[in-house]
């Protein structure tokens, strides 16, 4: 199921899901034509399909051309794949000889700025049959979103980025098809969770205006396109559904995450956080939803920290510091010799340094040193020491401060505070591998009863899977996108003020983090009041 360390959400409360997938397969035994029943081939097929589906079926011209020979070669026993076009309206996606209803495949895709993950889904029951992941092929043209948006400003650049992404996806599709012994043509539906820019680049839409005020995408609701239009190596008539976006920086990946969390169905107040290259925050319940987003990532994604690296084999991902001896224990991804430190390792290290009294509540080294060595030069695979510097801590405090400030802005705008949050959802790969206690210790996550804190894993991919399987879910997703009140943080003075004030570990008001406060008191790092 897992691939490259990305796993599908394992949520405690599985969303109720009535199977109503983007495509259906219908087996038909048609009467052979005769002088007494001389209906046209396509009309005969459509009438039988309408009888089973209860609504009209559109047959695309290219398939119309093939219908007569398929029907005759199959002895009038065929399986039709039909795709959702609009409520009550279907179009023919494929026609195969015999009964092939037991082979019905869809693809749920999470297109991240850095990583692309594809899940092969059994459309009969919604099960994930396999997953494949790879770096987004656009990375070589530019690591961050802004570079790519600039590049996409010319038709050639846009085409280059679209092709790179489609090539990545086609590689994943080929791998999945090979390992599951199916023809790529047998994949008859695709659903995508991606941020707004990625959706634009996927569809070949110019994202230029996403990064300049007033931040206007071409579309937040691309609806359905056919795979053939995009060059996707599945059935060319397969419907491709992109989860709708809310705004330029709040995309279908987040809407998919909200869907996967189910927070939009619950009366209690929930907080949803996806921290990656950008940080996206959703606050709300079944009655209202607030959202905002901002750049967050480099400090956490290894792009900035002195010893930083991506979460790849050799990355230090867990750190423990003995509060007495200050001896460091660490693990690396894949158990490989240490090369650098990834986001979860950094968060762990900060939390442990804080609990060991090495850094103070402002994130400063108490003894005036300029770095903390996690792995010595001798031990490291590169021969260079792996350390967390004062500058790394400073950068991280900015990221954390931005997340805190954004969250408080959302809370205040509805007259609530951190203590009103009842459920917390962490989405994304970072959220999946982060040590929960460490994240709370440094105030990146709120200090809630742990059973109310849920890791969603690849919530964008899970949202895409749900959209692939259910029309009701797609409508829910569209309602979520429509109903989220988006708070623009760019040029927001209140946010800037809060950001500047959010510079303490775990929070300016320690009482909002009772379990952290207890630990600090226990270790004599703060005094009990």
- Closest contact distance (angstroms) between CB of 474 and its own copies is 13
- Closest contact distance (angstroms) between CB of 230 and its own copies is 8
Instruction: Choose the binding region for its own copies from 128-136, 165-173, 219-227, 364-372 (rule: CB under 8 A).
Output: 219-227
DSSP state of 121: E
Helix axes 343-355, 390-413, angle to 10 degrees: 90
> Total binding residues for its own copies by CB under 8 A?
46
Binding mask 44-63 for its own copies (x = CB under 8 A): --x---------x-xx-x--
Residue with Cβ nearer its own copies (88 or 334): 88
Which residues have C-beta within 8 Å of that of residue 441, sequence separation ≥ 6? 351, 354, 355, 505, 506, 516, 519
Report 81-120 residues binding its own copies (CB under 8 A): 85-86, 89
209 touches its own copies by CB under 8 A:
yes
CA 320 to chain centre: 29
128 touches its own copies by CB under 8 A:
no
Q: Are strands 57-58 and 89-97 parallel, antiparallel or unpaired?
A: parallel
- Closest contact distance (angstroms) between CB of 17 and its own copies is 24
State how far the Cα of 95 lies from the Cα of 182, in Å rounded to an integer: 16
414 touches its own copies by CB under 8 A:
no
Q: What region, left, alpha or beta, does residue 511 occupy, with left being phi > 0 and alpha being psi -120 to 50 degrees?
A: alpha
* Backbone φ, ψ for residue 416 (5° rounding): -120, 170
Asked if the peptide bond before residue 72 counts as cis, ω within 30 degrees of 0, the response is: no
Which residues have C-beta within 8 Å of that of residue 186, sequence separation ≥ 6? 103, 104, 105, 177, 235
- Closest contact distance (angstroms) between CB of 209 and its own copies is 7
- Closest contact distance (angstroms) between CB of 56 and its own copies is 7
232 close to 192: Cβ distance less than 8 angstroms:
no
316 touches its own copies by CB under 8 A:
no
State how far the Cα of 205 lies from the Cα of 396, in Å rounded to an integer: 34
Residue with Cβ nearer its own copies (36 or 529): 36
Residue with Cβ nearer its own copies (158 or 407): 158
DSSP state of 421: -
Strand partners, 270: 284, 423
Report 482-511 residues binding its own copies (CB under 8 A): 486, 488, 491
38 touches its own copies by CB under 8 A:
yes
Residue with Cβ nearer its own copies (42 or 436): 42
195 touches its own copies by CB under 8 A:
no
CA 334 to chain centre: 23
Instruction: Choose the binding region for its own copies from 182-190, 212-220, 429-437, 514-522 (rule: CB under 8 A).
Output: 212-220
525 touches its own copies by CB under 8 A:
no
42 touches its own copies by CB under 8 A:
yes
Which residues have C-beta within 8 Å of that of residue 180, sequence separation ≥ 6? 120, 129, 130
Binding mask 5-34 for its own copies (x = CB under 8 A): ----------------------------xx
Q: What residues line the site for its own copies (CB under 8 A)? A: 33-35, 38-43, 46, 56, 58-59, 61, 64-65, 67-68, 85-86, 89, 203-206, 209, 213-225, 229, 245, 247-248, 486, 488, 491
């Amino acid at each position: 199921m897992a691939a490259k360390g990305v796993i599908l959400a394992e949520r405690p409360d599985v969303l109720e899901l009535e199977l109503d997938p983007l495509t259906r397969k219908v087996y038909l035994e048609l009467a052979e034509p005769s002088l007494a029943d001389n209906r046209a081939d396509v009309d005969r097929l459509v009438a039988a399909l309408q009888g089973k589906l209860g609504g009209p079926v559109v047959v695309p011209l290219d398939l119309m051309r093939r219908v007569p020979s398929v029907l005759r070669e199959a002895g009038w026993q065929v399986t039709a794949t039909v795709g959702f076009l609009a409520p009550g309206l279907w179009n023919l996606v494929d026609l195969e000889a015999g009964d092939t209803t037991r082979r019905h495949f869809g693809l749920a895709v999470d297109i991240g700025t850095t990583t692309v993950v594809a899940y092969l889904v059994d459309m009969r029951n919604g099960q994930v049959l396999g997953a494949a992941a790879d770096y987004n092929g656009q990375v070589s043209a530019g690591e961050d979103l802004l570079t790519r948006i600039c590049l996409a400003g010319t038709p050639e650049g846009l085409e280059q980025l679209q092709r790179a992404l489609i090539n990545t996806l086609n590689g994943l599709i080929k791998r999945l098809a090979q390992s599951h012994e199916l023809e790529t043509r047998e994949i008859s539906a695709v659903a995508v969770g991606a941020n707004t820019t990625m959706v634009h680049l996927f569809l070949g839409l110019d994202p230029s205006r996403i990064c300049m005020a007033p931040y206007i995408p071409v579309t937040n609701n691309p609806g359905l396109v056919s795979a053939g239009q995009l060059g996707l190596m599945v059935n060319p008539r397969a419907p491709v559904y992109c989860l709708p976006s809310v705004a330029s920086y709040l995309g279908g990946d987040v809407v998919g995450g909200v869907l996967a969390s189910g927070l939009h169905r619950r009366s209690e107040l929930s907080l949803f956080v996806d921290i990656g290259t950008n940080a996206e925050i959703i606050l709300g319940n079944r009655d209202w939803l607030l959202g905002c987003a901002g750049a967050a990532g480099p400090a956490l994604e290894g792009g900035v920290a002195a010893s930083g690296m991506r979460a790849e084999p050799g990355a230090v991902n867990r750190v423990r510091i003995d509060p007495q001896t200050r001896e460091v224990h660490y693990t690396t991804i894949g158990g490989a010799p240490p090369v650098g430190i990834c986001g979860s390792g950094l968060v762990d290290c900060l939390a442990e340094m804080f609990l060991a009294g090495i850094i103070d509540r402002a994130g400063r080294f108490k003894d005036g040193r300029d770095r903390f060595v996690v792995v010595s030069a001798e031990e490291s695979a590169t021969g260079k020491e792996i350390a967390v510097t004062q500058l790394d801590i400073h950068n991280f405090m900015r990221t954390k401060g931005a997340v805190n400030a954004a969250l408080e802005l959302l809370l205040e705008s509805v007259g609530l505070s951190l203590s009103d949050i009842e459920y917390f959802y962490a989405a994304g790969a970072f959220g999946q591998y982060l040590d929960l206690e460490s994240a709370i210790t440094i105030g990146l996550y709120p200090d809630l009863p742990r059973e109310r804190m849920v890791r969603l894993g690849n919530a964008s991919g899970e949202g895409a899977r749900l959209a692939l399987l259910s029309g009701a879910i797609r409508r829910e997703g569209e309602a979520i996108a429509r109903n989220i009140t988006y708070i623009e943080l760019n040029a927001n003075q209140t946010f800037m003020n809060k950001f500047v004030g959010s510079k303490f570990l775990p929070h300016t008001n320690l009482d909002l983090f009772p379990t952290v406060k207890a630990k600090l008191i226990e270790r004599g790092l703060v005094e009990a009041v």
